[in-house]
Chains A and B, each alone.
Chain A
Amino acid sequence: MLGPASVQDLGRVGQYRFGVGTSGAMDDIALRAGNILLGNDENAAGVEIAFAPFKLRFNADAAFALTGADGGAELNGRLLPPWWRACAHAGDILVLKAMSRGARSYLTVAGGIDVPLVLGSRSTQLRGEFGGFHGRALQPGDILPCDRSESPDDAGELGAEPADIALRQRTLASGARRIRVIIAGEYDRYDEAARQLFWHTDWRVTPQSNRYGYRLEGPPVQPIVPIEKRSHGIVPGVIQIPPNGQPIIQLRDAQTSGGYPKFATVVEADLWRIGQAGLGSRLRFEPISHQEALAAQAEVSVYLERLRASVRLQGEL
């Protein structure tokens, strides 16, 4: 299991210098898409769900959207398509039966989950025990407050093209997910054989993988000589290689500093693909240039802009 359910927005910025990382949705594109479908601020908080079955009851009428992994969602027993906006009535039961095509689903509601802003964000800071819903993961019986002031009552059902289809990558013969990275600080401390080993391995996502980081398994990758680094700042997506040679991808809830050598960093445009990689899935890394990373991010922007336009158009009909 990749972790519990928690309240997340797009993350906390400006607090790294105090040891506070970003937190925020592991699949930021899915959270944005859900908020776009609902006409919300794209940074509105939603619920990140990393396991199934997951069940909730609506205590009031509400428009909601489900994006991210296909959870096989049913509203009062009626199957909902993935990446879908629908309306629930008070008392309705929503069930996510099993995750397929991805690892994390996002439930967004019109107006957003109304938890207090802490240090500028509604994301749950699990380590610091603040933000989100009382600073913790969600538990059975929790009642989430929703901001219903801007809730559009007459929103009909509407779908969005899933990001994993719109932003599909050419598939590798091995079935591994392709993850684009930029080489990082200590890359030049590994010889050519170690580098090629890293690039040509399908790295397996181990059970020690969660919102803090993904621990990968494969043949050990070792530097030319052991590297001793002072603690330095790290960002979500940094791939560190500790002395055992097994890479760790630091993610949204990672500590803000670390000492292990940095081999590469996942580009912004592919971080969501990590968030959707389940336990046991395989990742293949591919080094790209900064210009290619910008182009990849531009594709994400085009996808989101297309979605905004189609939701606007639907609203005008």
Chain B
Amino acid sequence: MGRESRGAAGHGAYPRVRPCGDTALTIEFGETIDPDLNAKVLALDAELTAHPVAGVLETVPTYRSLLVHIDPVIADPEALAADLLAMAANLPPTGEAVRRWRIPVVYGGAFGVDLADVAARHGLSPSALIDAHCAPVYRVYMIGFMPGFTYLGGLDPRLATPRRSDPRPLIPASSVIIGGAQAAISSIAGPSGWHLLGRTPVRPYHPGRDPAFLIASGDEIVFEPIAEDHWRVLDKAAAAGEPVADMVAS
């Protein structure tokens, strides 16, 4: 793509396509965290899966953009960009039923070391904070960052909490966390500046399980508080490869 066409596009018009090196393109649908934008991303992703385009190797849905990995010898990026924009303008409604997962969580204490502080910060009792966190139906916007890390939208705006200025080098796997206006379920232990509210026995990623990855972009999540002794039972089952997250009617 020439530098001229890039400059002419400005940054107000969506959808738009940007190069990402010589082996990938990004098609952007907007700038905000918005279920409609994310639905378009997923619809284009589904379209490219259903009708493969020569030279497209892999697609990666994110909040409001789709990353398209290409073999540049087969796919001409300029022509492909035009094709993607044409497809984006004529996306079929996705007929697929939404999957909704019920995710059991132990809140607070050693399972969610930041819960008391976050509640105090927002002038809520710990139980009011748990209620507020459990009330919404969350949308899975993307899986990214680390294997199986599940980014959620739909957090009660009252709970929005700036990320820690001092990120922790390691938080436990399967932590239920919030950062800014976002919520997430961590998958494997890793660094994080988000706040730990609780922990689920569910493994979003388990190498020995089929499927290894449980949750997909576009799925819905509801959280359900459970007691610590129940967590231990479910955790054992999850370690053995059980999903321990129930699929519930939406």
Contact = CB atoms under 8 A, between A and B. Distances in A.
Are A and B interaction partners?
Answer: yes
Contacts of A294: 22, 72-73
Contacts of A15: 147
B148 A290 contact: no
Interface string B132-152: 000000000011111111010
Contacts of A19: 143-149, 187, 205
B241 to A, nearest CB: 15
Given A14-B58, A256-B144, A290 B20 contact: no
Contacts of B57: 13
Contacts of B28: 185, 232
A233 B62 contact: yes
Given A119-B212, A188-B6, A182 B19 contact: yes
Contact of B60 (A130, A187, A256): A256
Interface in B50-66: 57-66
Interface in A224-280: 230-235, 237-238, 255-257, 262, 265-268
Contacts of B1: 290
A143 interface: no
B187 A237 contact: no
A232 B141 CA distance: 11
A166 interface: no
Interface in B1-34: 1-3, 6-7, 11, 18-24, 26, 28, 31-33
Nearest to B10: A188
Nearest to B189: A129
B6 A187 contact: yes
Given A127-B190, A265-B20, A232 B72 contact: no
Given A14-B58, A184-B20, A230 B31 contact: yes
B183 interface: no
Contacts of A185: 18, 20, 26, 28
B213 interface: yes
Interface in A161-198: 181-185, 187-189
A231 B205 contact: no
A17 B72 contact: no
Contacts, number: 142
Contact of A238 (B2, B20, B59): B20
A232 B62 contact: yes
B2 A289 contact: yes
Given A17-B61, A235-B24, A257-B62, A125 B144 contact: no
A17 B60 contact: yes
B18 A184 contact: yes
Contacts of A130: 207
Contacts of A293: 21-22, 72
Given A188-B11, A257-B145, A289-B2, A18 B205 contact: yes
B148 A230 contact: no
Interface string A118-148: 1100000101111000000000000000000
A297 interface: yes
A51 interface: no
Contact of A233 (B7, B144, B188, B213): B144
A182 to B, nearest CB: 6
A20 interface: yes
Contacts of A13: 57-58
Nearest to B76: A290
A230 B61 CA distance: 13
A16 interface: yes
B60 A233 contact: yes
Interface in B37-92: 57-67, 69, 72-73, 77-78
Interface in A7-29: 13-20
In this complex, the member of A17, A183, A293, A294 whose beta carbon has the largest number of chain B beta carbons within 10 angstroms is A17
A148 to B, nearest CB: 27
Contacts of A235: 20-21, 23-24, 67, 69
Given A127-B188, A268-B22, A18 B148 contact: yes
Interface of B: 1-3, 6-7, 11, 18-24, 26, 28, 31-33, 57-67, 69, 72-73, 77-78, 142-149, 151, 187-188, 190, 205, 207, 212-213, 217
20 contacts: A13-B58, A18-B143, A19-B145, A182-B19, A185-B28, A188-B7, A189-B11, A231-B142, A232-B62, A232-B64, A232-B65, A233-B67, A235-B21, A256-B60, A256-B144, A262-B20, A268-B72, A290-B19, A293-B21, A293-B72
Interface of A: 13-20, 118-119, 125, 127-130, 181-185, 187-189, 230-235, 237-238, 255-257, 262, 265-268, 289-290, 293-294, 297
Task: Give 10 nearest A-B pairs by CB, closest first.
Answer: A233-B67, A265-B21, A257-B144, A293-B22, A233-B60, A185-B18, A16-B60, A128-B147, A18-B213, A230-B63
Given A238-B20, A290-B1, 19 more contacts: A17-B61, A17-B217, A18-B148, A19-B149, A130-B207, A184-B19, A185-B28, A230-B62, A230-B63, A231-B63, A232-B62, A232-B65, A232-B67, A234-B20, A235-B21, A235-B69, A238-B21, A257-B62, A267-B22
